[in-house]
Amino acid sequence: MPLRTFPLDGVDQPVEFVETATVTDGVTCDVYRFTGDATRDLGVVEVRPGCRTPLQRVLAGDSTVEGLVAGRGTLTVTRPDGQVRVHDFAGPGAAPVHVHVGDLMQWHADPQTPLVFFEVCSPPYAPGRFEDLPGSPL
């Protein structure tokens, strides 16, 4: 069932469902727009156990925020200077992660548990914001 609100910055924000997109095998994204706020949008991404998102480079955007909704998994972020940070999301209360233009990122679901994460893009997502990279995962 599509969401009607999404908690952001401690406040339930009204959202409108747009579509469900298949990202890759084992990964789907429900796309939402914030009602009355055209400055950003929301993706709620489900990753099946043991699956991962594509390795992506952030090419554009003012702000990209990634965070846990449910389940267990990791978000690996590699900065342009080569610094690698692995964010372990194991339960509610984990702080969201801001990724920046030039960063590489990849989510990986726990082998036993599905992962659901959110991605808030400002301005709203448009083709060319991320580049899917071939090759080895992070």
pLDDT tens-digit map of 30-41? 999 999 999 999
Tell me: the pLDDT tens digits for 55-73?
999 999 999 999 999 999 9
Rounded distance, CA 59 to CA 129, Å?
A: 5
pLDDT at 136 over 80: no
CA dihedral for 125, 86, 22, 133, sign (positive or negative) = positive
Q: Domain-by-domain residue ranges, the chain?
A: 22-133
Q: Which residues contact 99 (CB under 8 A, 6 or more apart)?
A: 58, 64, 65, 66, 77, 105
- pLDDT score, position 69: 94
The pLDDT confidence band at residue 13, using thresholds 50, 70 and 90, is: very high
Average pLDDT over residues 94-121: 96
Check: CB of residue 57 under 8 Å from CB of residue 104: yes
Has residue 75 got a pLDDT over 80?
A: yes
CATH superfamily of 22-133: Jelly Rolls (2.60.120.10)
Q: What is the pLDDT of residue 9?
A: 81
- Mean pLDDT for the stretch of residues 111-120: 96
